[in-house]
Each structure stands twice: as structure tokens, then as C-alpha cells.
Amino acid sequence: MKLSANDHSSWNISRRFFGDLVPFRLALLLGIGLQLIGVGLELAQPWAMQQIFDRALIGRASNAAQIVYVGSACLAAAVLLRIVVNHVATLKIVATGHALTRALRLRVFRHLVELPPNFHTRQKSGDLLMRLMGDAPMVSTMLVEASSHLVTRAIQVVGTVALMVWVDLRLTLTLAIFLPIIFFVARFLAGKLRIATRKQRRKEGDMADYMQESLGAAALIQSLGREGDAVRAFAKTNRRNARAGLKTARAAARLSSSVEGLLAIALGITVLLGGLRVLQPAADFSAGELIVFISYVRGLMKPIRSAAKHQARVAKGTACGERLLRVLDEDRPVRLTSGKKVPVSAPVCLAYERVSYAYPGAERALRHVSFEVRAGDYVALFGASGAGKSTLAALALRLMDPDQGRVTLDGVELPEYDLDRLRERFALSMQSTMLFGASVAENLQLGDPEAEEPAMWRALEDAGAAEMVRELPGGLEYRLGASGSALSGGQRKRICLARAFLRKSPILIADEPFNGLDAHASARVEASLRQHAADGGMVIVVTHDAGSLHSFDRVLFLDGGRLIGAGTDRELRGTAIAYQHMVEVAEGSRA
């Protein structure tokens, strides 16, 4: 069930998160129960006051002093007990809120991690960060704190009104007209607040995006001398964000002030009408009763004020919940269509059959591509930049699925395999190097969490990176900067290759492995890749470097998303004109 256009009520948004609340339902019920006990104690207080007033102070009963003693002791005990109960209730509810926030963040993060790569290229990461960090606690506040308070406050209002009826029906009926007015005013203003909050959160997301992008490219901005522009642009989103924040605060203040104003009027009317009745000669209404009544009307202020405050939280939580749902409603098509079969540990044939693929909103990246790679093959995917080579590699690992045609492993279409087991059969070293701000060893262990040091050194050796890592301070324990900064492009590439080697997967796909490598390191990497094929693996090397093509068993030549030639380098040079042309251009530019 997805969010439709007219589905923005707090209830509809909240409902979508009820499943997340289930594990915490007992803690939440306990919290609400304790709050209700607190409400009961609070409602008993004015009644004790009335007894003291009417019986002892005004009525001068024979045991007046005794009533004062006992009454005041009861009052103090009730107040103390209420404080303790509320304290425990608050702790319980706050703890539940934190637990729910944690669960929500985990759910959103898990979902984000599994979304296809083109979602992440589309979506700005700063805004996603805000959703995870900022929106999740707001939703949890709405579901736990605000909802539990609203429940207890509603019961408190009903209880108070019942007691007012019991004390005096006539006066209660006079005041009753205020309740619907307060209700509708609060609802109307809460709607406004929700709209303002939605806008504010969007502005905050924009700001986080801008900050993330510009700080990530700080070196570029400095090299172009554009720091001033960057700061000015930031100042603009900053200003917009502050303005939106102010609007939200104003809407929240308007809500609580209006409600309190209405209550103040109600209180004035109570004092006026009640006072006049006490003064009448044959009064049916005692001063003590008036005091009780007034304290109940004043007692209404607290729950209604608190309801207004929590209504504001619900409005914020709703706006934030919408943002989370927008992420959670993104399909994970690949994960959802995962089958149960397990690929054999040494697959024999990877085949593309008339495969076409277009990135959402873009031209076709691949058109009817067919080829197969067998165990022991050492194959190059060759083509100009933008030809679709990396896209072909991504389809093999099911980072996305083809729009038409199919990719099979040993004759079975990829979606029929269990996704995790399928991916275990592949090692991909991507074109853009992906490293984390952790130690070299931790980055390598992403390839194989169980890998020990000797295996890691062997993999580094194979990637021509052992020498370089040995020279880093701390060796394997050297901590890379964010995304592996502080290493050169070639160094990063080789660590990524080592990570792929470490996986010991039968199918190895290396996307532009020689980019940024010197001749010596290139030769080392080439020998390792060849060895992997000779050992019975499949090796697919994506390259746009014409100079290395002669060493492959087979070259697949891609142009504009089509496969227009397959064969050895020599055969292709003899037959495919476009290939000849491209190789000549490449060789000419090198000469």
C-alpha cells in the first residue's frame, strides 16, 4: 500500500508505522496506564480541597481541625504519589520513543541500502541523511509521546467534565459550548502547522544537500576560486531554512495561544456566573463547590494546552512520516524478485540473450546485446566511453535487471537464484573506486569478512599493491580518509582490485582495472587476472584501452549500446571497420 495523493491525514500516515510499534506495545501500554493513574490522582485533589473548605473552614464542623490535618496530609500524599507515577511514566515513554527511533532508522537504512544504484544517483544524499537523522525521531515522537499524551489527556478531559457535571450540571452546560469551538479551532490550526512543517523539512533537506555537495567538492571550489559564491549560495538556503523554521514556530504558537485564549474566556464566565449564584440568598451552590469547579476548569487548561502541544508534534510527525514513506515506498525490484536456487560454486557459462536496458528517464544504454562467457575465458569488453560496458557489468550482478532479454548463469535466468548466493559467485571491481574511511584491512574484508592477514597480503600482491601498503604507516591498519582520500587514484584502484581478488569468486569482473596504474603494476594485475582464468574462473575485463587487447582470448566490441563485434583482437582488426578505426585512433594518440 503506497501513499496516494490524498492520503496525508495524520491517521493514514501513522497507520503505516503501526507495524513498527508492535514490539513496543507493552511498554507503551504500561506508560499510558501509569499516566492514567497520575490523572486519577490529579482529579481527586480539588475534591479533597472542597471537603476542607465546605466542612472545616466554612461549615466549622466539630472535628474541623481533624479534617484540616487529614485533608492536608492526603493532599500532600496524592501530590507526591502523582509526581512519582508521572516520573516513571515519562521515563517509560521516553525509552520507548528512543527504541522506536532506533527501529525506524534501521528499517529506513536497510531499505536505502537495498535500493538500486540509480535511485541513489537520482536522490541527493544530504536529504536522505536528514530523513534518517531528523525525520525518524519526529515520527517516533508522534507515535509514542504525542499519542500516549493525547490518549491520557483526552481521558483527563472526559473525567474532568464528568466531575464538573457531578459538581454542577447547569454551569457545566453553559461552558459546554466552548468545547466544540476549541476542538475545531485546534484542528484547523494544526492543519496549517502541518503544511508549514512539511515545507520546513524540505528546506532543511535542501540545505543538507547543498552542504554535502559543496563540502565534498571543497577542493574543486577552492581551485576555481569560488568560495565566495559557495558561501553566498549557502547563505541563501540558510536564510530560506530559517524563514521556514520561523513560520512553523509561528503556526505552533498560534495554535496554543488560541486555545488558551478560549479557555481564559471560559474561566472568566465560570467565575462570573458561579460567583453570582453563591451570592444569591437561597444559594444552591457553596463557595467550596465554586472553588472545586474553578479548579476543574483551570484543570482543563493543562490537558488542552498539552493536547495542543502534542497536536503540534503530531503535525510535525505527519510531515516527517510522509518523507520517510516516500523512501520506504520505493520498490526494491531486484531484491523482491529473488528466487531460491543456489548457483553451483564453479559456474560454466554466463550468457546475455538479447539484453536491452535503459536507465530511468534516459536513452537506451544497451540494445539487444547477446554473448556468452565460459569458465576459463579471459575476455575484454571494449568500447568508447558511454558504450554501455559498465552497465553490462552491473546487470551480471543484478544491481538492476534488463528491460528486455535475459541474463543467465548455467542456463538459469538470474532472478531465479537467491540473490545473496548469486552475488557470492561474482567479484566486481568497479570503475569508480569505492573505499570507506576505515583501515585498509577493513576495506579488504568487505570482500571476504573471514579473510586473515596472509590471504590479504596475497590479494594485495596479486593487485600489485603489496609494496605500496607495506610502505603506509601501519600497513594494513592504515586508516584511509573519507572515501579513501589521501591515496592516489591508482592506489585506490589497486586496493579495490585486491578486495575483488580476495573474494575468490569464480566470476571476476574488473571495470577499467588498468586505469591510473603504471606499466609495472598493470603487468602484475594482468598476470593475476589471466591466472584466475587459467584456474578455471571467468574473467571479464572492461576496458577502453586498445593497447592491451591482443592479450585477451576474446574481445567483445561495444558501440553505442550494441555489440558489433566479437573475436580475437586480430580477427576484429581484420573484419570490423569501426573497431579498426577506434584502435587506430587510440594507437595514433599514443604514438
Ligand X SMILES: Nc1ncnc2c1ncn2[C@@H]1O[C@H](COP(=O)(O)OP(=O)(O)O)[C@@H](O)[C@H]1O
Task: Point out which residues bind ligand X (CB under 6 A).
Answer: 118, 121, 359, 362, 365, 383, 385-391
Shortest CA distance to 306 belongs to which of 445, 157, 424, 505?
A: 157
Alpha-carbon distance values, 325 to 158, 195, 227, 267, 508 (Å): 34, 17, 36, 43, 37
Least Å distance between CB 548 and ligand X? 16
Please state, in angstroms and rounded to a whole number, the distance separating the CA atoms of residues 183 and 202. 29
Residues near 56 by Cβ (< 8 Å), separated by ≥ 6? 64, 65, 67, 68, 71
- Asked if residues 576 and 557 have their Cβ atoms less than 8 Å apart, the reply is yes
Map grid coordinates 484547523 to a residue.
188
User: Is 431 an interacting residue with respect to Mg ion (CB under 5 A)?
Assistant: yes
> 62 is in the binding site of which of Mg ion, ligand X, none (Cβ under 5 to 8 A by kind)?
none
User: Is 391 an interacting residue with respect to Mg ion (CB under 5 A)?
Assistant: no
> 387 is in the binding site of which of ligand X, Mg ion, none (Cβ under 5 to 8 A by kind)?
ligand X
For the chain, how many helices (H) and strands (E)? 23, 10
Shortest CA distance to 185 belongs to which of 14, 320, 304, 8?
A: 304
User: Is 433 an interacting residue with respect to Mg ion (CB under 5 A)?
Assistant: no
Least Å distance between CB 319 and ligand X? 30
Q: Which amino acid is at 470?
A: R
User: Is 10 an interacting residue with respect to Mg ion (CB under 5 A)?
Assistant: no
> 256 is in the binding site of which of Mg ion, ligand X, none (Cβ under 5 to 8 A by kind)?
none
User: Is 390 an interacting residue with respect to Mg ion (CB under 5 A)?
Assistant: yes
**Backbone region of residue 196 per phi and psi (left: phi > 0; alpha: psi in -120 to 50; beta: other values):** alpha
Structure-block grid coordinates of residue 50: 472542597
Structure-block grid coordinates of residue 65: 481541625
Least Å distance between CB 545 and ligand X? 13
Least Å distance between CB 236 and ligand X? 28
Q: Which is nearer to Mg ion, 249 or 384 (CB)?
A: 384
Q: Which is nearer to Mg ion, 390 or 429 (CB)?
A: 390
> 386 is in the binding site of which of Mg ion, ligand X, none (Cβ under 5 to 8 A by kind)?
ligand X
Alpha carbons within 13 A on the beta-carbon side of 590: 10
> 365 is in the binding site of which of ligand X, Mg ion, none (Cβ under 5 to 8 A by kind)?
ligand X
Least Å distance between CB 119 and ligand X? 10
> 362 is in the binding site of which of Mg ion, ligand X, none (Cβ under 5 to 8 A by kind)?
ligand X
Q: Which is nearer to ligand X, 256 or 391 (CB)?
A: 391
Least Å distance between CB 544 and ligand X? 7
Q: Which is nearer to ligand X, 407 or 460 (CB)?
A: 407
Q: Which amino acid is at 219?
A: A
Structure-block grid coordinates of residue 368: 539487444
Residues that bind Mg ion (CB under 5 A): 390, 431
